[in-house]
Structure 1
Amino acid sequence: MSAQPTIECVQGDIAQQPDMDAVVNAANADLTIGGGVAGALHRAAGPGLEEECRPMAPIRPGQAVISGAHNLPNRHVIHCLGPVYGVDEPADELLASCYREALRLAEDKGLSSIAFPSLSTGAFGYPMPEATRIALDTVIQASRGSHSLRHIRFVLFSEEAVRVHQEILGSLQEP
């Protein structure tokens, strides 16, 4: 019987998670350098990340692909295209798919740890509380039968985002 992975929420820089096997990129469809998380990860990884991703693009909302981490302190980057809120529908299902697909790719590679940003809540406009509930509920459900994953971290930009994530995580983990 596999144990439920530890889930934690911290404030920090997604590009500085050296104890995680994989980090998740809030990617754009072309898997190129962008703003926010995609910009931070691509700048830290170096130009090889964009070169490796070029043949995998474009990806669709809800889809995830995996690459090497290049100059990042991780083994892999999992690139997810979250939905643009109010544009890509059904947004809740597409957002949940990002998290499920990222966990599936991590499990397929036998990874023990993964760090997520808060997908779709920046430039894509998804309201933080709603996106957080979908993210955490999906991660809890999808990681239940995990064979390799032991540690899931949400790396968040602000104290407020950490507070929202911890509150919702607490409510979902109550017996």
Structure 2
Amino acid sequence: MSASARISSIVVEVQNGDITEEMSMAIVNSVSGGPLYGGGQVTKAINDAAGGSIAKEYEASYASEATDIVITSAGKLEQSKIFHLTATTNPTALKDMVRRTLEKAESEGMDSISFPALGTGDLGCDPKRMAAPMFEAMRDFGLQQGKYGSIDTIKVVIYKETLFQQYKKAMYDTIGEYCAPDEDDDDDSDESPPE
């Protein structure tokens, strides 16, 4: 299942799947923050798929520059980079962090990036509360960068199929007035974005 929309030349997509199998240039991971690498199920899956080297690289990077966004290689994964974000339950902080992650990905020359459903796993936040700030950040970034940036695809990869419809609705509700559904929307339903 997937659904997509456009903001200028950027495709924003929600899809059901495994973020470690994404073909984006970069993926995003949510970590507990601080100098020690740790987090929930997505963090463990990424570290395992990357060959276990990510934890050491994260800790070395964090030691040289303590920040809430740490960039590492992708280890054995197909992607070029992993952006590790400090987990948050605050929607305003989430929006800011997603926006800054997109800006960092742009400055690193990435053309595509995939996010998980941040805050909805081990943190247990309500998806309705966390989805909108993510798409607001993507909308704002897309309107600012438009056709002049390197990023042309931003995905939210949903592992739990039950969250897909909520994130799809949030995408259309948040960026719907700025874009239309992409013609390649291959969702099985006949739903269209709200007008």
Do the structures match in fold with TM over 0.5?
A: yes
TM-score w.r.t. length of structure 1: 0.86
Deviation at 1:140, TM superposition (A): 1.2
> What residue number does 2:137 align with?
138
> What residue number does 2:174 align with?
172
**Matching of residues 16-165 of structure 1 within 5 Å:** 16-17=21-22, 19-29=23-33, 30=35, 32-57=37-62, 63-83=68-88, 85=89, 91-146=90-145, 147-165=149-167
Is contact 1:22-1:115 (8 Å) kept? yes
Question: 3-state SS of the aligned residue for 1:44?
Answer: helix
List gaps (5 residues or longer) in structure 2: 1-6, 178-195
Deviation at 1:97, TM superposition (A): 2.0
Regions of 4+ moved over 4 Å? none
Partner Cα separation in structure 2 for residue 144 and residue 65 of structure 1? 25
Tell me the C-alpha RMSD between the 2 structures. 1.8
Partner Cα separation in structure 1 for residue 32 and residue 62 of structure 2? 9
| 1:94 counterpart letter in structure 2 | A
> What residue number does 1:88 align with?
none
Identical amino acids, percent of aligned pairs: 24
Equivalent pairs, count: 165
Is contact 1:3-1:144 (8 Å) kept? yes
Deviation at 1:137, TM superposition (A): 1.1
| 1:149 counterpart letter in structure 2 | I
List gaps (5 residues or longer) in structure 1: 86-90
TM-score w.r.t. length of structure 2: 0.78
**Which has the greater radius of gyration?**
2
Deviation at 1:56, TM superposition (A): 2.7
Partner Cα separation in structure 2 for residue 68 and residue 156 of structure 1? 22
Question: 3-state SS of the aligned residue for 1:144?
Answer: helix
Distance change in 2, residues 1:31/1:149 (3 Å): farther
> What residue number does 2:3 align with?
none
Deviation at 1:174, TM superposition (A): 2.8
Distance change in 2, residues 1:101/1:129 (3 Å): same
